Amino acid sequence: MNSREPAEFVREMLREFPLHADLEAGSLIDKMLAAPETDPWSLDLTEAERQLLGRALAENPEPATIEESRSALVWLARRRLARQSEKLNQELRAAEARTEAKASEDPTAVNDLLLAKKLLRRATRDLEGF
């Protein structure tokens, strides 16, 4: 296994599943994904992105292993699922309140949200094995 494999793995995963989009480093990661063969210091970075890159490299000077990369991606996925679950719970509470207020309303919105909640729970449970 060469040292580029973990980086390739992370790039492919983040391109397909942008788990980093809402992170402080999201824009920096996007810029690095767009130019993978470019020295990150030569990218058009904001001052905040430069500081973040410097801190990240100072704290972690060695390239990540494939295991560390997988672990980080699983953490990001769990974090995203937790946020989606919270948003879904808020929507579910609102839909239930609307349904209770209008007894004649079709409860399909609540049922759809309950199904989405079950799917999120299953996805979160599936990630526990990683």
Residues 79 and 27 in one domain: no
Spell out the residues 6+ positions from residue 3 whose beta carbon is closer than 8 angstroms to its own.
Answer: 63
CB–CB of 130/74 below 8 Å? yes
Q: What is the pLDDT of residue 63?
A: 83
DSSP H helix total and E strand total for the chain: 5, 0
Give the residue among 18, 11, 6 at the shortest CA–CA distance from 77: 18
Residues 81 and 126 in one domain: yes
User: How does pLDDT run along the chain (130 residues), one tens digit per residue?
Assistant: 444 577 888 888 899 888 888 888 999 999 999 998 889 999 999 999 999 999 988 998 888 888 888 888 999 998 888 888 888 888 888 887 776 666 555 667 778 888 888 888 888 777 776 6
Residues 57 and 90 in one domain: no
Q: What is the pLDDT of residue 9?
A: 85
Residues 10 and 22 in one domain: yes
Residues 60 and 108 in one domain: no
Q: Which residues of 112-125 are buried (b: 16+ CB within 10 A; e: fewer)?
A: ebeeebeebeeeee
Q: What is the pLDDT of residue 1?
A: 43
Task: For the beta carbon of residue 10, count every other beta carbon within 10 angstroms.
Answer: 20
Q: What is the pLDDT of residue 52?
A: 93
**Total domains present in the chain:** 2
**10, 35, 64 — which closes off a domain?**
64
Please provide the distance, in angstroms rounded to a whole number, between the alpha carbons at the two ends of the chain: 20
- The pTM assigned to this predicted structure is 0.65
Residues 24 and 46 in one domain: yes
Task: Quote the domain boundaries for residue 20.
Answer: 1-64
**64, 99, 117 — which closes off a domain?**
64
**27, 44, 64 — which closes off a domain?**
64
